[in-house]
């Protein structure tokens, strides 16, 4: 099968996978996430965690990952090195966060200029270190999200993305708190704010988007901005279910993201299953005191085929790469899965696909190749 593309994952949050998921987003960030991310100044710690994470992703059939790193340049470069050594393709985001009100003093950039200087040097070092490897790691412009960044840094990051023609990633309209932040502070929606700062382009990947409205989708469509759908994480922090079918109907490209550790699992198999389940909840509705006719949102449920599309072809469009398909001229990003046919089913194409999605475990994935190179496991 084609390898999977995880279009949104926070590498430094791996040790926290599954922790603190009962808290609202802002409290979870301050209690669990920022204290952990601040530890990545320590390169020994970074190495231990990142080797374990990249191995786990490969073991789950993920051949390309779009990573958020931390604010520490050396640690992010180390993540790129580890991807190279293990033969995984990474999009590596050096995180920018300089706002003094919304980031703790112990974990933020000193100023917008400091953030931009560090970024430009990160880009150049990563592009340089790529020269000796066949699988290229791509730097990604990464404003954490609108509450984390000053206007000056958003503007500067948009300019850097243009100067180096780089992909951009951030979170957009993720939760009620985050969605209302730009509205209260700037009098405009998240998407509009990012758009005005040249951060929504055909290379932009916006995570979550659970609260995007029609005007936001119009901006996404117009600019070619894509969404990383993170169904597991959205159940905890999204405050709504992302409408996959609605976005696809509006010609917005979508991929799937694990969003570790807002999501507890590094497996896109788990995320495919949850994408299907959450779409069923959206279609059926959730409040049993409401009459069935108006309880849910019609035409919302997605099929297993669509979930598989999100993890493969959709993700490939998000990262603008010829991958996600077994086809001549495409990158040889593959997972070799040994999944025994079910003796009680007819095992036609649909049965085989359903079995692969619902029943594949990491142990069933025997080998993983990235660009024809055997990825290193365990």
> Which residue lies nearer to Zn ion by CB, 97 or 207?
207
Using the minimum distance from each CB to Zn ion, give the nearer residue, 278 or 300. Answer: 278
d(C-alpha 161, C-alpha 168), whole Å = 7
The first and second tokens of residue 103, run together, are: 């980031």
User: Which CB atom, from 262 or from 296, has the smaller least distance to Zn ion?
Assistant: 262
Min dist CB 247 to Zn ion, Å, is 18
What is the closest distance, in whole angstroms, from the C-beta atom of residue 238 to Zn ion in the complex?
11
Residues of this chain, 118-137, that bind Zn ion according to CB under 5 A: none
Collapsing DSSP states into helix, strand and coil, what is residue 7? strand
Please identify, using beta-carbon distances, which residue of 2 and 314 lies nearer to Zn ion.
314
Asked if 14 and 260 count as a contact pair (C-beta separation under 8 A), the reply is: yes
Q: What is the C-alpha to C-alpha distance for residues 323 and 315, in angstroms, rounded to an integer?
A: 9
Find the shortest distance in angstroms from Cβ 10 to Zn ion: 6
Closest to 212 measured CA to CA, from 233, 236, 238, 249: 238
Min CB(218)–Zn ion separation in Å: 24
Is the CA virtual torsion 360, 361, 363, 369 positive or negative?
positive
* Complex with Zn ion: residue 79 or 370, whichever CB lies closer: 79
Nearer to Zn ion, 84 or 148 (CB): 148
Give the nearer residue to Zn ion in terms of CB position, either 87 or 108: 108
* Residues 72, 142: Cα–Cα separation, whole Å: 13
Sign of CA dihedral 204, 241, 315, 81: positive
Helix (H, G, I), strand (E, B) or coil at 138: strand
| Least Cβ distance, residue 175 to Zn ion (angstroms) | 11
Strands 365-370 and 334-337 turn out to be antiparallel
Q: Which of residues 247-276 bind Zn ion (CB under 5 A)?
A: 259
Tell me, residue by residue from 207 to 226, as one string, x for binding to Zn ion by CB under 5 A and - for no binding: x-------------------
Cα maximum dimension of the chain: 63
* Stretch near Zn ion under the rule CB under 5 A, chosen from 15-23, 136-144, 190-198, 206-214: 206-214
Taking the complex as a whole, the smallest distance from the CB of residue 364 to Zn ion amounts, in Å, to 28
Instruction: For the CB of residue 65, give the shortest distance to Zn ion in the complex, in Å.
Output: 13
Provide the 3-class DSSP secondary structure of residue 27.
helix
Contacts with Zn ion by CB under 5 A: the residue count is 2
Minimum CB separation from Zn ion for residue 202, in Å? 21
Q: Which stretch binds Zn ion (CB under 5 A): 49-57, 96-104, 187-195, 201-209?
A: 201-209
Contact partners, residue 127, CB within 8 Å, separation at least 6: 139
Q: What is the C-alpha to C-alpha distance for residues 246 and 27, in angstroms, rounded to an integer? A: 31
174 scored as a contact of Zn ion (CB under 5 A): no
DSSP 8-state symbol, 99: -
Of 85-93, 203-211, 347-355, 368-376, which segment contacts Zn ion by CB under 5 A? 203-211
Total Cβ atoms within 10 A of residue 106: 8
Which CB atom, from 98 or from 174, has the smaller least distance to Zn ion? 174
Q: Where along the sequence are the contacts to Zn ion (CB under 5 A)?
A: 207, 259
């Amino acid at each position: 099968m084609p390898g999977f593309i995880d279009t949104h994952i926070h590498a430094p949050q791996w040790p926290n996978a599954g922790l603190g998921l009962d808290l609202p987003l802002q409290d979870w960030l301050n209690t669990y996430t920022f204290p952990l991310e601040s530890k990545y100044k320590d390169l020994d710690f970074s190495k231990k965690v990142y080797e374990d994470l990249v191995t786990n992703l490969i073991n789950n059939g993920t051949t390309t990952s779009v990573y958020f790193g931390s604010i520490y340049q050396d640690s992010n470069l180390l993540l790129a090195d580890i991807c190279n050594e293990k033969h995984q393709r990474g999009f590596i985001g050096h995180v920018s966060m300089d706002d003094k009100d919304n980031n703790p003093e112990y974990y933020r950039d000193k100023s917008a200029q400091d953030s931009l200087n560090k970024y430009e040097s990160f880009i150049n070092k990563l592009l340089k270190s790529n020269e000796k490897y066949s699988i290229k790691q791509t730097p990604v412009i990464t404003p954490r999200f609108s509450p984390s960044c000053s206007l000056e840094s958003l503007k500067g990051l948009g300019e850097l993305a243009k100067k180096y023609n780089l992909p951009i990633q951030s979170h957009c309209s993720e939760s009620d708190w985050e969605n209302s932040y730009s509205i209260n502070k700037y009098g405009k929606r998240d998407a509009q704010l990012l758009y005005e700062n040249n951060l929504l382009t055909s290379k932009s990947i916006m995570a979550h988007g659970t609260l995007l409205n029609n005007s936001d989708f119009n901006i996404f469509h117009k600019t070619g901005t894509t969404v990383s759908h993170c169904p597991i994480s959205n159940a905890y922090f999204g405050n709504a279910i992302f409408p996959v079918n609605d976005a696809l109907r509006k010609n917005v490209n979508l991929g799937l993201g694990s969003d570790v550790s807002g999501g507890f699992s590094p497996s896109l198999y788990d995320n495919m299953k949850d994408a299907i389940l959450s779409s069923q909840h959206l279609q059926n509705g959730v409040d049993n005191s409401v009459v069935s006719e108006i309880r849910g949102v019609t035409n919302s449920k997605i099929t297993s085929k669509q979930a598989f599309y999100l993890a493969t072809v959709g993700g490939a469009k998000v990262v603008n790469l010829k991958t996600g398909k077994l086809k001549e001229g495409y990158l040889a990003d593959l997972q070799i899965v040994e999944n025994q046919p079910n003796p009680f089913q007819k095992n036609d194409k649909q049965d085989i696909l359903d079995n692969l999605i619902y029943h594949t475990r990491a142990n069933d994935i025997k080998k993983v190749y990235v660009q024809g190179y055997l990825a290193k496991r365990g």
